[in-house]
Amino acid sequence: MTGLLFVWWLWMGRGFFLLVGQPWTLLQPVFWLLTGMLLLVVFVADWRFGLIPDSANFSLFVLALGYRLALTGSGLMESADLVKAIICGLVLMAFFYGLWFFTKGRGFGFGDVKLAPSLGLLLGWPKTIVAVFLAFVLGAVVAVVLIALGKKKLGQTIPFGPFLVLGTFAALLFGGRLWGWYFGQL
């Protein structure tokens, strides 16, 4: 699985997210490869152990912030987009903190709260909204299936980090189109 992820993120970094010119033709694939590996750590650790390592959260945050600052500093990204991405991360963190606080940590883990700023930086506006919406939908579907199969009981927890990772993946690939489609339906 790690080998497939390695190939995929290298391919994504070289093709789908490719910025033209040096040093970006090398740096961007490396950024997306490292991002993919950290998201894999978040996915597996939360699914297996019910926690997201602080080291993965911190590394992802530093990586995403450094990348966004470098893009802005080199003129490849508008300063307004950086500000929107930071605001997305802070608003998402506040939302997740509220969920964690009001459930007293039983319905929502604090690792997800710490992951939020990184996701906001990675995705920006409006892809952050798409990712979180998809994460909640996927989480709900999986929870219903697990309850129906008798593998979980009502009231038992299911890690949310893996669904945030899947939502992030989907938003990176299809976020703009999903956002446009949704608002086209209104």
Q: Which residues contact 151 (CB under 8 A, 6 or more apart)?
A: none
> How many residues appear in the chain?
186
Closest CA to 92 of 62, 125, 56, 66: 125
Q: Is the pTM of this model over 0.75?
A: yes
Could you list the residue range(s) of the whole structural domain that residue 116 is in? 2-185
- Ordered DSSP codes for the chain: -HHHHHHHHHHHHHTTTPPPSTTHHHHHHHHHHHHHHHHHHHHHHHHHHS---HHHHHHHHHHHHHHHHHHHHTTSS-HHHHHHHHHHHHHHHHHHHHHHHHTTTSSS-HHHHHHHHHHHHHH-TTHHHHHHHHHHHHHHHHHHHHHHTTSS-TT----SHHHHHHHHHHHHHHHHHHHHHHHHH-
Structurally, the chain folds into a number of domains equal to 1
- Tens digit of each residue's pLDDT, the chain (186 residues): 667 666 776 666 666 666 666 777 778 888 888 898 899 999 999 999 999 999 999 999 999 999 999 999 988 889 999 999 999 999 999 999 999 999 988 888 899 999 999 999 999 999 999 999 999 999 999 999 999 999 988 888 899 999 999 999 999 888 888 888 887 786
Residue 159 burial (C-beta neighbours within 10 Å; 0-12, 13-18, 19+): buried
Distance of alpha carbon 88 from the chain centroid: 12
Q: Quick one: tokens of 147? A: 């309850």
Task: Give yes or no for a contact between 69 and 82, defined as CB atoms under 8 angstroms apart.
Answer: yes
Neighbours of 184 (CB within 10 A): 7
Task: Give yes or no for a contact between 56 and 38, defined as CB atoms under 8 angstroms apart.
Answer: yes
